[in-house]
Structure 1
Amino acid sequence: MRIINKSLIFVSLLAAPFVQAEGIDHIKETGELQICANPEQKPFSWKNGRPEGFQIDVAKVLADKLDVALEVSWIFRKRHAKLTGCDMYVGVAKLDGDTQYVKKSDPFARMEFKLVTAKGIKPISDLKDLKGLTVGVPGGSIASHALRGKGIELAISYRDEASRLNAVVDGTIDAAIVTQLSTSWHQKSYGSQFNVYDAESLLNKRLNYDYVLGLRRNDQQSREKFNQILSEIKADGSIDKVFDKYGI
């Protein structure tokens, strides 16, 4: 698997021309499926000597189905994708339809948000039970606005869900809002013990969403092909192996 080094991407930000992502025919012609992924978004994607993470593992399954190599462009912001040749993001929210730049596939997973607290923290049945606790959330998220509006202390400095869960385990913070994927992966990987609550019900906000492929400027033929592949990997159990790896 050939990987674009992160440092090369940032050099290209200074002078690289716009690169148009291509469709399924181009992927087959070049023999490469190129994806864009964040190098520090554990457990979805992270650059740690070799590509790993849920998105990377799903991308490997897609590449195998197409019988092509997988290439990863490591970027921190989606706006940097235009400076690479990547064909897709392996995981975007289905909340709305297509955008000017991205066509969305059929769903291949469901992301559900959980409030996780350390063992020993009293049971949480209402937001008022979080008063006096520090909750790790992504800055600017729906969850952060909902909790801040209730006067709950927030911790927004953690770069990914794994970091927030680690902080719960070591007692740096009392609770965190994360996806069920991260909670299950942390429990499976480290044997972590958490109290887990449904965040959407607790906050009374729409948080959960279907997870889809974000195809960059690709045509309808490409979307139909990837939808077909998604159906195949669901039917043959390939995607289930990835889910099992992360405990979901």
Structure 2
Amino acid sequence: MSDAARTRGRAIAAGVLLAVLPALFPAAHARPLAEIKSRGELSLCANPDALPYASDKADLPGFQVEIGRALAQRLGVKLQVLWIIPRLRANLVDCDMLLDTISDPAAQRGPIRLTQPYQKSGVALALRRGLQAQRFDDLAANTRVGVMINSLASRSLNQRGLRTVPYAFEADMVADLAKGELDACAVSPASVAWYIHQHPESGLHYTHAYDSEPELHWNLAVALRRSDEALLEAVNTALSQLAADGTLAQIYGRYGVELRRP
């Protein structure tokens, strides 16, 4: 499998917008740090209906928006959120950054710079009440396992002979797991953690199974659109400060998500 195909597969497995950076950030003039400070705004691309990642709800904006605000504050500017809807034509998007981007050289096509990684992620193993396992290899062959359609996790688990059930949306998959229609899910840790945070009575639990799966784990970074070195350094400094003072952990914690440093 090529690096590009692997990156696309990881994006699907993660259930978030990760591997379409060249399309999301069309060619345009550079957005250096000086220009951002001059206009007083740093812009973020985000989905208006994708909790826990992002939302247009003022009281529950999602951790991507909250992290974006914290970064903008460190740079001394305000955050502008530009909402991305899947049907939106990519050439209409014009923002400075996208969070939760896989930190992979194969994804660096076009005028994109990636910051230092700030979160460790991958494909977690979510389990229904009463079922115990630590790794995907611990699952019995007849276990009903939800997977994202056409994802690396889907391919990997099918090759192991597991009984996979394809889904287009992680939220639907986790909801079916809670109903008992599935035994397990290959899912992003943020999605299942958010569900458990909202529904502690569900009995769902999960493990970071990707820790032992080289193809199913990755680090996340901020993708900057046509930035200069000064903007990259400023965002890297801000990320380090937010991690060191506990701000990142607090933001993630509000959504039931664990900060796992790369």
Same fold (TM over 0.5): yes
- Which secondary structure state, in structure 1, belongs to the residue aligned with residue 148 of structure 2? coil
Alignment match, 1:245: 254
Taking the TM superposition and a 5 Å limit, the aligned residue runs for 1:87-98 are 87-96=96-105, 98=108
Taking the TM superposition and a 5 Å limit, the aligned residue runs for 1:33-112 are 33-48=42-57, 52-76=61-85, 80-96=89-105, 98-112=108-122
CA shift in 2, pair 1:122/1:107, >3 Å:
closer
The one-letter amino acid of 2:40's match is G
Match among 136, 142, 156 for residue 146 of structure 1 = 156
The one-letter amino acid of 1:138's match is M
Q: CA deviation at 1:50?
A: 6.8
| RMSD, aligned α-carbons | 3.0
Taking the TM superposition and a 5 Å limit, the aligned residue runs for 1:117-196 are 117-121=127-131, 123=133, 127=137, 129-159=139-169, 161-191=170-200, 192-196=202-206
Partner Cα distance (1:189, 1:94) in 2: 29
CA shift in 2, pair 1:48/1:107, >3 Å:
same
Q: CA deviation at 1:79?
A: 9.3
Answer whether contact 1:177 1:199 (CA < 8 A) is retained: no
Q: Deviations over 1:89-143 (max 9, x none)?
A: 0110112263323210011111143111101336576647343333222222211
Alignment match, 1:228: 237
Match among 198, 215, 219 for residue 228 of structure 2 = 219
1:113 aligns with 2:141: no
Answer whether contact 2:111 2:225 (CA < 8 A) is retained: yes
Answer whether contact 1:137 1:177 (CA < 8 A) is retained: yes
Q: CA deviation at 1:174?
A: 2.3
- Which secondary structure state, in structure 2, belongs to the residue aligned with residue 106 of structure 1? coil
Partner Cα distance (2:236, 2:94) in 1: 21
**Percent identity over paired residues:** 27
- Which secondary structure state, in structure 1, belongs to the residue aligned with residue 105 of structure 2? coil
Partner Cα distance (1:183, 1:206) in 2: 20
CA shift in 2, pair 1:125/1:106, >3 Å:
closer
TM-score under structure 1 normalisation? Answer: 0.79
Q: CA deviation at 1:36?
A: 0.9
Moved more, 221-230 or 129-138: 129-138
Answer whether contact 2:211 2:217 (CA < 8 A) is retained: no
Partner Cα distance (1:169, 1:110) in 2: 25
Partner Cα distance (1:95, 1:124) in 2: 26
The one-letter amino acid of 1:86's match is C
Q: How many residues align?
A: 231
TM-score under structure 2 normalisation? Answer: 0.75
Moved more, 101-110 or 177-186: 177-186
Alignment match, 2:218: 209
Q: CA deviation at 1:83?
A: 2.0
Gaps of 5+ in 1: 1-16
The one-letter amino acid of 2:142's match is G
Partner Cα distance (2:116, 2:241) in 1: 12
1:197 aligns with 2:211: no
